[in-house]
Amino acid sequence: GANPMITDDYGNTALHFATKQDWCTPQDIIDIIKVSKPQANQHLCQNGVTQPLGASLITQLSVDGLNGGVISVKSTGTSEIINLKGGMGRTALAVAVIFNRVVIAQTLLENGADPTIPDNTKRIPFQWAMYDQLTSESIQAMIQSILTMIQNINVNHKYSDGSTLLHCAVKCRRNGLVKGVLDRGADCTIEDNDGNTALDLAKQMKPSSDVKKIIKLLQQ
């Protein structure tokens, strides 16, 4: 029951590559996730994917930059492909956020993507949408994008490090995002694996206008 994983020399899977392609659909993402599961093993073809997927999706990925010459099949746990770190330690969700692939990111989250996994720079996926140089209009647009990504997700679900979407929102240091998650019913009392609530994280941050607003929101 090993799980077939398709990777290049940098550890990127077909999922990492598909996520950033304009032609990639939510169904493509679901197909890759499905074919990575053990029950698909008996249907594998030479590329490590089922024949229909191998004939279309992998062919297109090769054209768009996934070098067929370095594709290899690796084995790992049952459902790890969706949270596997690729180049620069980024998960497929991080790639989707960086390329502002909102619907693809939403699909990944709805199929088990963990938004708390940091990359090699210690950024979690949503932080890539909230860099410091954004204009106020861009900030509002990115906040709305993230809220769309998580619209069907339980805001109080605890991920691998024990944190919730509220913890993630606080790490982005945008009070509008924190408010949006709170409006969804986020529980401020949930602690991560280090015993920190979202408010604890905010109080540990370097003071700024946004951080002060976040603390005020969490104390209400």
**What are the tens digits of pLDDT across the range 5-59?**
667 888 888 899 999 999 999 999 998 888 877 554 444 444 444 444 443 454 4
Exposed / middle / buried, residue 10 (Cβ in 10 Å: 0-12, 13-18, 19+): exposed
Q: How many domains does the chain have?
A: 2
Residues 32 and 129 in one domain: yes
In a domain, 44, yes or no: no
Residues 139 and 183 in one domain: no
Write down which residue in 133, 152, 171 finishes a domain. Answer: 152
Cβ neighbours of residue 38 under 8 Å, at least 6 residues apart? 1, 2, 3, 78
**Residue pair 167/201 in contact by the 8 Å Cβ criterion:** yes
Residues 111 and 183 in one domain: no
In a domain, 43, yes or no: no
What single string gives the DSSP state of each residue in 17-65? HHHT-TT--HHHHHHHHHHTSGGGGGG--TTSS-HHHIIIIIHHHHHTT
Cα within 13 Å of Cα(155), Cβ side: 21
Write down which residue in 152, 167, 184 finishes a domain. Answer: 152
**Closest by alpha carbon to 104, among 17, 13, 7?**
17
Parent domain of 185: 154-219
> Any idea which residue has 């089922």 for tokens?
50
What pLDDT digit, counting tens, does each position of 130-182 carry?
876 778 899 999 999 999 999 999 999 999 999 999 999 999 999 999 999 99
Residues 8 and 112 in one domain: yes
Residues 85 and 159 in one domain: no
CATH number for the domain spanning 211: value is 1.25.40.20
